[in-house]
Structure 1
Amino acid sequence: MAIKFSDKALDHVIDEMIDVVENSKDEIFNISEGARSEYERLVIELKETKEKVIQHIENGDQLEKKVKLSRQRLAEVSKYFKKYSESDIREIYEKTHAMQTKLAMLRHEEKVLRDKRDDLERRLISLAGTIDRAEGLASKISVILNYLQDDFKRVNEMIEDAKEKQEFGLKIIEAQEEERRKISREIHDGPAQMLANILLRSEIVEKISRNGDLDKVINELKSVKTMIRTSLYEVRRIIYDLRPMALDDLGLVPTIRKYIATTADYHKMEIKFIIIGKEKRLPQKYEIAFFRLMQESLQNAIKHARPTLIQVKLEIQSNYLTMLIKDNGQGFDPETKKDNSFGLMGMRERVEMIEGKLMIDSKIGKGTTVSIHVPYSC
């Protein structure tokens, strides 16, 4: 009975986690839709404002011509003062003054409309950025949601023994929570922080633009562009770590090659990749399994072994597949069971699912070699 209760509790936790992610996705969608509605409203308002600006310019130009003619008439009256009566002179002067006053008011209204137009354009640019970011976050959460659902489904299929399922289930919840904390930290320290800086910089650009300093505006926009590019790189890296789309599109070898290059660049360390045999597409279950096994081995080495060199070798033959992940790190004693050995347990389960063998050769101070051998036929 205790085991059944634990299973139900685990299912409840999984459902709660998925609900939280789905609700977050809905909230981001609502933010995006609200921003989109505001954007459409501002587009209409901007169009009307531009039309008013054009109308004011045309009216001002016409009035300015009339003022010019009236001033010429006034100059003529002043020159031949004796020809005109006092009432004629007063009428011409008052008419000219009235038109000049009206022209000044028109030009002022035109300036107000121009400022409003510029402000609307800046707000539209900011809203467009908000919509893009919201859609990007919604897509990323969809990836995370699929990742959680797929992994929990796979775990439930892998664990058949009821007693082991209880312990294994608790471990995977901890791993999932740690992965969520990691993603949260990466988003907070990377894209979220960068977006906050971009917002601040955009406000600076707005203030500078009002002062008419074009050079400073251009420099600030270049800085904002650099920040956006960096933020985009970080978001793509996070998404790639969750599930590289290249695995479905290009296959195992190109995906491993790209992942290793990205990981080596990110951690500033040397990682070599060697492919033996004919490079070709494999059935999906082998590609997913070998990529995840390589990913887990690589991350374990980077996190725990502190190596200066990691070598990954993949051999594809007609009747078997072999992968070796070797590092020159500090090593460990495979016979000593650790509380945090869940990663190795999951790797063994994954290899057994494709009827393969996993061997780990490690000695303290001598590095570690992970060997995976799977029978395979075309």
Structure 2
Amino acid sequence: MGKERWIKMQPDKNKISSYIIQSQEQEIKRIALELHEGVGQTLYSVYSGMQFIESAIDQPEMKKYVEDMTHILEKTIQEVRLLAVELHPPTLITLGFISAMKSYLTIYTATYGIEVDLEVLGNEVQLSEKENITLFRVCQEALANIALYADTSKAKLTVTWEHDRLLIVIKDFGSGFDVGKALSKATGLSAIIERMYLINGKCIISSQINEGTTIEIALPLIY
């Protein structure tokens, strides 16, 4: 009987990363749906019940208490809905990347007080679900970094639909940082580069201290 031959298979790191990201996105999508359809709807039912109780109470002190509780519930419902949109905008798949970004920027400005000037050039092209999600996550990560580190109240997001590629430029006018040092660590910037690589895109990050940061991402458009 001959000796068995064992072949050591090297795992494809890119496939593993892609699988992990896809699995994460599916879980995020599930959580967002549960927040919106499950928790959100349950809270709304309680809110409606509180409104009914409030209308039936005559005692001023009790009425004021129920009214306060109703306002708290209303605020909680809004926060849950905003969180669901932030996790996975329902418009991302149905209406596309631009519509989802517009919805997200409204939430972003309301949350962080940073005005983002969105400029869209050219005609939007239908992208795959994977591309839509990746681009959204990349922009989300870049904007989160601006809110956390840039120390600015303004940013600009330019989306240009060219004949053979999609170009997105995210620019802030904040404090800037050392790109080399940041990329040497496991940061959100590294995640942006890897995400774009997994959909055959490219990413260029440039920054100057006290002059701001620019992130350019490009995605080939295949018809």
1:337–1:260 CA distance, 2 compared to 1 (3 A): closer
Question: How far did 1:243 drift?
Answer: 1.6
- Alignment partner of 2:170: what SS? strand
Map 1:140-151 onto structure 2 (within 5 A): none
- Alignment partner of 1:336: what SS? helix
Q: Residue 102 of structure 2: which of 246, 257, 263 is its match?
A: 257
**For this pair of structures, how many residues does the alignment match?**
189
Q: Could you tell me which residue of structure 2 aligns to residue 268 of structure 1?
A: 113
Q: Which has the larger radius of gyration?
A: 1
Q: Could you tell me which residue of structure 2 aligns to residue 351 of structure 1?
A: 196
Structure 1 residues without counterparts, runs of 5 or longer: 1-6, 8-153, 160-168, 177-190
- Alignment partner of 2:190: what SS? helix
Question: How far did 1:218 drift?
Answer: 4.1
1:329–1:282 CA distance, 2 compared to 1 (3 A): same
Question: How far did 1:292 drift?
Answer: 0.9
Q: Could you tell me which residue of structure 1 aligns to residue 123 of structure 2?
A: 278
Q: Could you tell me which residue of structure 2 aligns to residue 324 of structure 1?
A: 169
Q: Could you tell me which residue of structure 2 aligns to residue 157 of structure 1?
A: 17
Question: How far did 1:339 drift?
Answer: 6.1
Question: How far did 1:280 drift?
Answer: 4.4
- Alignment partner of 2:126: what SS? coil
TM-score, normalization by structure 1:
0.44
Question: How far did 1:337 drift?
Answer: 4.4
Q: Residues of 1 paired with 2:209 and 2:17: CA distance?
A: 35
Structure 1 counterpart of 2:79, one-letter code: E
- Alignment partner of 1:265: what SS? helix
Q: Residue 299 of structure 1: which of 127, 138, 144 is its match?
A: 144
Name the structure with the higher strand share: 2
Question: How far did 1:361 drift?
Answer: 1.1
Structure 2 counterpart of 1:331, one-letter code: G
- Alignment partner of 1:361: what SS? strand
Contact between 1:358 and 1:373, CA under 8 Å: does it hold in 2?
Answer: yes
1:364–1:234 CA distance, 2 compared to 1 (3 A): same
TM-score, normalization by structure 2:
0.72
Contact between 2:173 and 2:212, CA under 8 Å: does it hold in 1?
Answer: yes
Contact between 2:113 and 2:153, CA under 8 Å: does it hold in 1?
Answer: no
Larger RCO: 1 or 2 (CA < 8 Å, sep 6+):
2
Identity %: 27
Q: Could you tell me which residue of structure 2 aligns to residue 101 of structure 1?
A: none
Q: Residue 210 of structure 2: which of 365, 374, 377 is its match?
A: 365
Q: Residue 71 of structure 2: which of 226, 237, 243 is its match?
A: 226
1:155–1:235 CA distance, 2 compared to 1 (3 A): farther
Map 1:22-37 onto structure 2 (within 5 A): none
Q: Residue 181 of structure 2: which of 324, 336, 344 is its match?
A: 336
Question: How far did 1:217 drift?
Answer: 4.4
Question: How far did 1:216 drift?
Answer: 4.3
Q: Residues of 2 paired with 1:249 and 1:241: CA distance?
A: 16
Q: Could you tell me which residue of structure 2 aligns to residue 138 of structure 1?
A: none
Contact between 1:158 and 1:349, CA under 8 Å: does it hold in 2?
Answer: no
Map 1:1-378 onto structure 2 (within 5 A): 156-158=16-18, 213=59, 215-337=60-182, 340-378=185-223
1:338–1:295 CA distance, 2 compared to 1 (3 A): same
Question: How far did 1:254 drift?
Answer: 0.5
Question: How far did 1:222 drift?
Answer: 3.2
Question: How far did 1:155 drift?
Answer: 7.8
Contact between 1:271 and 1:310, CA under 8 Å: does it hold in 2?
Answer: yes
1:44-92 C-alpha deviation (Å, 9 max, x unpaired): xxxxxxxxxxxxxxxxxxxxxxxxxxxxxxxxxxxxxxxxxxxxxxxxx
Structure 2 residues without counterparts, runs of 5 or longer: 1-10, 25-38
